[in-house]
Amino acid sequence: MGLTAYKTTCACLSAMKTMLGVRLRVTGVENLVDRPTLFVANHFTRIETFLIPYVIFQHAGRQVRSLGTHSVFKGLFGKYFKALGGMSTRDARRNRTIIRELMTGRHDWVIYPEGGLIKNKKTVHKGRLRLNNPDRHGPPHTGAAMLALKAQMCKHRYLKACEEDDLRRIEYYEDSYGLNGTDEVRQAGVVVVPVTLTFYPMRPSRNLINRLAKLLVGELDPRLDEELQVEGSILLAGSEICIHFGEPIEAADYLDKVTALARRVIGMFSESNRTDFLLRQQAKRLTEACMRSIYHNTEINFDHLFCYALRAFQGDRIVVEDLRRALYLAATQLADCDAVRLHRSVLDGITSLVSGEPFGPWESAVRLACNEGILRIQDGCYVVNRTALDQPHEFHKIRLKNMTQVIANELEPIKPAVEALNRYVNLSSSQLTMRTSEALRQSDARLYERDYASVFEPNGSKPKDVGEPFFLESHNGKVGIVLAHGYLACPEQVRPLAEYLHHQGCSVYGVRLPGHGTAPKQLTDVSWQDWMDSLMRGYAVIRQHCREVIVGGFSLGGTLALLLAARHAGEIDGVFSINAPMRLRDRRASLVPAIVRWNGVMRKLGLSNGHFQRSNSDTESPDINYELDYLTGIREVRRAMDACRKRLWAVTAPALIIQADADPLVGPDGAKALVARLGSKNKVFLELPFDRHVIVRGDGCEAIFEKVNQFVQRVGQLTPA
């Protein structure tokens, strides 16, 4: 095995990774223990043959040898693979070489118990591990497990023979495995490390690699053509490759069971036959443990959930919104399950499924199923072509003809995911609506619980109940309102307005803007996008309950409400803002971004202990508002204002803008400019006589409430039944 060839290959792969923009993530690196190791991996593409040794060398500095099918050891490529330490499955020295190198720890090995490529990803049948491909009908090969067990057993017996000075046995092991004394043998036991490769997304197509091969060779063998379409697309189309190293499995643990079992069956067989029989049984168990670890460690992505949901659905026609709700519920349940690994496509932005926001993973999965003739849309529903979904294809064509089925197969061994999808995708619309609303509210509550617990100070934090998001449900009302509080405040600030509107027959969800309702220092770690996400969750809750949705807010909450209305033009039925900042009276606010940047430089230089802060002791509501402010928070307010200003033209829903004429914080001129920029044709501007900023509480607030209620009732009448 040539180190030069190995290093050269790794350098080439690094260069290709950079040039092609291959997104390679490696997890479980802590499981690369300094022990004689047999790596066992799943096998979906030829890429694994090079990637796994490359990644191990990059992260652990260890050379790894590979066992490969005899067909690759031909011509120049065969010589090259041998130089990298590859060995043919038909090499007569195969087993003894692997056992010797695991005993001595000279090299680790990579073996694929599935045998060949598992192009259909079908690895489970009736709950049992079973492969179904041209080369293998039955459970995975036990050869890798047997080699690990024999290496551990031979090491133990050789060392014991040396200890007992048993010359006959010493000579046997040294002749059989080329040993030359105990110094060559690693004392540490052999471990088996399961390796899982997951690709996302997988969209085979004609690509540059495929076209170049055709140009150079002419007509390609159909099997090679298929592999180049699949693997070329993975490398060139921005697919992400995740390699996960599972927890090491001790070979000695399975040998101990062999010893224990041997005592029970003593006398039934000769010693050698008894040992071989028990080793085979334990090799099966070790193989099953390895393969279940490999399959269970698949990183679940959105494609998995979508494709398996189509299989789990028991009908042939599903409402689009119901499918989105079912996938959201499955994703949120799995996010709370420590037993599975999730890709960010299942975590990031998943609320978009139930809030109506564009969600790239959803659109990509729908496009795949439609292109393969499995889905078509009709009257707001997806019609599932069950025949196309379940149609068997030739093993070497299935990745091109029915990738939806392949992806669903890959998820099949992961029981928590399968159970969640089977449960949710077959619920009724009313059940899905109820459970989605509950899940969204629980998600909001958990976020608040987490934030509150992380910064709780007996004498510094606000009472917990003032910061909690709240939902006031009206069972008979058709109008729902998403209501957001102001900067440095919390949901309690707008509760009086929410209760007033609830008494008028509206459902109201009072959101909590992250960083608020806990302790001021949390404002140093949030962005205005985090605030928008909280409104998105509130909007998603209200959408589950009401036909008409109105968004509104006070101060910063009003600015964010306008932004949400711009993002959901045509879906939101009305928007109102009260003293929303477009221009701040304090001119020093314009200096905040520069000060924050300077503060960051000082911290990096170790010359500052924290963020610049300022007092807010003159707040109108000390029981609700923070009495301390951070400039990073003010910076995010300005960014939200800028984002809103640029999107006001997109607000098309009826709008109500209320502004106190003598607001000490927000200039009325800004409100007038806001109204002028609004894209809505139905807009009302009210400038009311108040000399304070917080006009949603205290003297005169009832007049504000009535103005908002009149607007809400008018919007309800404008909206078609």
Check whether residue 421 and residue 437 sit in a common domain.
no
Strand partners, 575: 551, 655
- What is the model's pLDDT at position 459? 57
Of 277, 296, 315, the residue that ends a domain is: 296
- What is the model's pLDDT at position 461? 63
Residue 12 lies in a domain: no
Q: Tell me if residue 570 falls in helix, strand or coil.
A: coil
**Cβ neighbours, 10 Å, residue 523:** 26
Residue 623 lies in a domain: no
Backbone φ and ψ of 245, nearest 5°? -95, 120
Of 251, 272, 296, the residue that ends a domain is: 296
Residue 618 lies in a domain: no
Give the residue-averaged pLDDT of 508-537. 94
Residue 566 lies in a domain: yes
Check whether residue 558 and residue 666 sit in a common domain.
yes
Domain interval for residue 265: 21-203+239-296
Pick the closest to residue 427 from 322, 289, 532 (CA basis): 322
Pick the closest to residue 295 from 128, 143, 122, 414 (CA basis): 414
Give pLDDT tens digits for 647-672.
Answer: 999 999 999 999 999 998 888 888 99
How many Cα neighbours within 13 Å face the side chain of 331?
A: 29
Check whether residue 176 and residue 272 sit in a common domain.
yes
Check whether residue 357 and residue 376 sit in a common domain.
yes
**Which pair of tokens denotes residue 441?**
């509210």
Check whether residue 411 and residue 503 sit in a common domain.
no
Pick the closest to residue 210 from 201, 219, 202 (CA basis): 219
Sign of CA dihedral 7, 9, 10, 12: positive
In contact, 643 and 566? CB cutoff 8 Å: no
Strand order of the sheet with strand 548-554? 470-472, 507-510, 479-484, 548-554, 574-578, 655-660, 683-688
Give pLDDT tens digits for 51-101.
Answer: 898 899 989 988 899 988 777 677 766 777 777 788 888 888 999 999 999
Check whether residue 410 and residue 466 sit in a common domain.
no
Give pLDDT tens digits for 104-127.
Answer: 999 999 999 998 889 999 999 888
Residue 608 lies in a domain: no
Check whether residue 290 and residue 193 sit in a common domain.
yes
CA distances from 542 to 40, 273, 473, 548, 600 (A): 49, 70, 9, 9, 39
Of 296, 318, 337, the residue that ends a domain is: 296
- Distance from C-alpha of 421 to C-alpha of 311, rounded to nearest angstrom: 9
In contact, 562 and 651? CB cutoff 8 Å: yes
Spell out the SS3 assignment of 361-388.
HHHHHHHHHHHCCCEEEECCEEEECHHH
Check whether residue 368 and residue 440 sit in a common domain.
no
Give pLDDT tens digits for 577-594.
Answer: 999 998 765 444 444 444
Q: How many domains does the chain have?
A: 3
Predicted TM-score (pTM) of the model is 0.89
Check whether residue 420 and residue 480 sit in a common domain.
no
What percentage of the chain carries pLDDT values higher than 70?
A: 89
- What is the model's pLDDT at position 269? 42
Check whether residue 292 and residue 303 sit in a common domain.
no
Residue recorded with tokens 């005169």: 700
Residue 614 lies in a domain: no
CATH code of the domain in which 139 resides: 3.40.1130
Check whether residue 442 and residue 416 sit in a common domain.
no
Residue 564 lies in a domain: yes
In contact, 83 and 2? CB cutoff 8 Å: yes
DSSP string, 123-169: -EETTEE-EEETTEEESPP-HHHHHHHHHHHHHHHHHHHHHHT-HHH
Q: Tell me if residue 461 falls in helix, strand or coil.
A: coil
Residue 339 lies in a domain: yes
- What is the model's pLDDT at position 232? 84
Check whether residue 539 and residue 402 sit in a common domain.
no
In contact, 113 and 143? CB cutoff 8 Å: yes
- What is the model's pLDDT at position 717? 79
Give the residue-averaged pLDDT of 169-174. 92
- Distance from C-alpha of 14 to C-alpha of 699, rounded to nearest angstrom: 68
